[in-house]
């Protein structure tokens, strides 16, 4: 495995953990993890990259080794944290962003909010959320208040090995070696001799602010950078998440320079299941000067 180093930076009142691979002077590349994950999960993709990159991968607030908020997490904070990080690590040039799920959605929105700061964007299984009716608002607020009043923690495991076994049950494509690596970096002591997921349990609370897809689309239409979506070949997961084919097609149409690659034999965690194919697709896109296209993965 390629060696990494950990740095900690103070941003917006919280101590953030940033994992780095490569050396200063190489082309910067920023990797953004998804919900329920941490920067370490990009290790397999970084190992498969062939180019000379200086990779930065933060743990989002409340995940991994980064600091935790009081009792709530707001999506705009991820955008502001990314903005603060980019001002620190690449203040004077447009940067390439790669994000998975939550991280991919942050990357796509940020590319429309600050289009001059982004050179290219790769979003893995990050197609937004289903639109919500205003009528859902009272129930969502009530559920959120109830969760704040009776907080729940994450499940505990007797040891890291048990945590790794759980990850393999959840994702049969994950082999034992990768599961153990992820478990070592995604677990923390539970204070009673076991381990638990290294994240603030407040992330389990429902977001009381309804997702407005029209707002996301307004940001996407401002993106000037070329965009690559890397998705599962089977759309069942997206459809089950509530994003219809029509909404997905409308999202693609928002981007001026768009292409898509579907990866076979993969679930939502494409960077765990097929890191070599993902790394190849990322580098081909980032280093290419071709115009937009939509390319199926032939394998």
| Per-residue pLDDT tens digits for 80-135 | 999 999 999 999 999 999 999 999 999 999 999 999 999 999 999 999 999 999 99
- Give the model's confidence band at 70: pLDDT under 50 very low, under 70 low, under 90 confident, else very high: confident
The pTM for the full model equals 0.94
CA angle 6, 95, 72 (to 5 degrees): 60
pLDDT for 291: 39
The arithmetic mean of pLDDT across residues 262-283, rounded, is 97
pLDDT at 169 over 60: yes
The answer to whether 30 and 111 are in contact (CB under 8 A) is no
Query: What element of type H or E holds 140?
Result: helix 137-149
Say if residue 139's pLDDT is above 90. Answer: yes
* Cα–Cα nearest to 38, from 16, 13, 10: 16
Mean pLDDT to the nearest integer, 204-232: 96
Determine the pLDDT at residue 295: 37
Q: Which residues pair with 96 in a beta bridge?
A: 29, 120
- What's the pLDDT at 238? 96
Residue 298 pLDDT exceeds 80: no
- Burial code (b: 16+ CB inside 10 Å, e: under 16) for 78-100 equals bbebbbbbbeebbeeebbbbbbb
Taking the domains of the chain in order of start, what are their residue ranges? 1-131+212-299
pLDDT of 290 higher than 80: no
Class of domain 1-131+212-299: alpha beta
Tokens at 50, concatenated? 């062939």
The gap from C-alpha 125 to its chain's centroid, in whole angstroms, comes to 9
3-state secondary structure of 118: strand
Q: Provide the 10 A C-beta neighbour count for residue 131.
A: 17
Label each residue of 196-246 as H, E or C. Answer: EECECHHHHCCCCCCCCHHHHHHHHCCCCCCEEEEEECCCHHHHHCCCCHH
pLDDT-above-70 percentage for the chain = 97
Question: Residue 219 pLDDT more than 80?
Answer: yes
Cβ(234)–Cβ(153) under 8 Å?
Answer: no
Q: How confident is the model at residue 297 (pLDDT cuts 50, 70, 90)?
A: very low
């Amino acid at each position: 495995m390629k060696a990494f180093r950990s740095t900690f930076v103070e941003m917006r009142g919280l101590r953030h953990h940033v994992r780095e691979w490569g050396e200063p002077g190489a082309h910067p590349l920023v990797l953004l993890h998804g919900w329920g994950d941490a920067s370490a999960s990009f290790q397999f993709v970084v190992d498969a990259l062939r180019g000379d990159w200086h990779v930065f991968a933060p743990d989002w607030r409340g995940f991994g080794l980064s600091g935790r908020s009081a009792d709530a997490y707001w999506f705009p904070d991820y955008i502001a944290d990314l903005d603060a990080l980019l001002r620190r690590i690449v203040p004077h040039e447009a940067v390439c962003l790669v994000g998975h799920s939550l991280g991919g959605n942050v990357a796509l929105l940020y590319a429309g909010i600050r289009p001059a700061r982004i050179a290219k964007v790769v979003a893995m299984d990050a197609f937004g959320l289903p639109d919500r009716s205003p009528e859902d608002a009272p129930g969502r607020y009530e559920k959120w208040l109830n969760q704040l009043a009776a907080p729940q923690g994450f499940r505990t495991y007797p040891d890291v090995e048990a945590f790794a076994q759980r990850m393999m049950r959840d994702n049969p494509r994950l082999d034992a070696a990768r599961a153990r690596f992820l478990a070592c970096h995604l677990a923390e002591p539970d204070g009673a001799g076991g381990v638990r997921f290294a994240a603030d349990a407040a992330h389990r609370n429902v977001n009381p602010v309804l997702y407005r897809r029209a707002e996301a689309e307004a940001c996407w239409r401002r993106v000037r950078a070329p965009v690559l979506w890397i998705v599962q070949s089977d759309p069942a997961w997206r459809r089950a998440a509530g994003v219809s084919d029509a909404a997905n097609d409308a999202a693609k149409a928002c981007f001026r320079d768009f292409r898509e690659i579907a990866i076979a034999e993969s679930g939502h965690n494409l960077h765990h299941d097929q890191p070599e194919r993902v790394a190849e697709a990322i580098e081909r896109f980032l280093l290419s000067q071709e115009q937009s296209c939509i390319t199926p993965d032939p394998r």
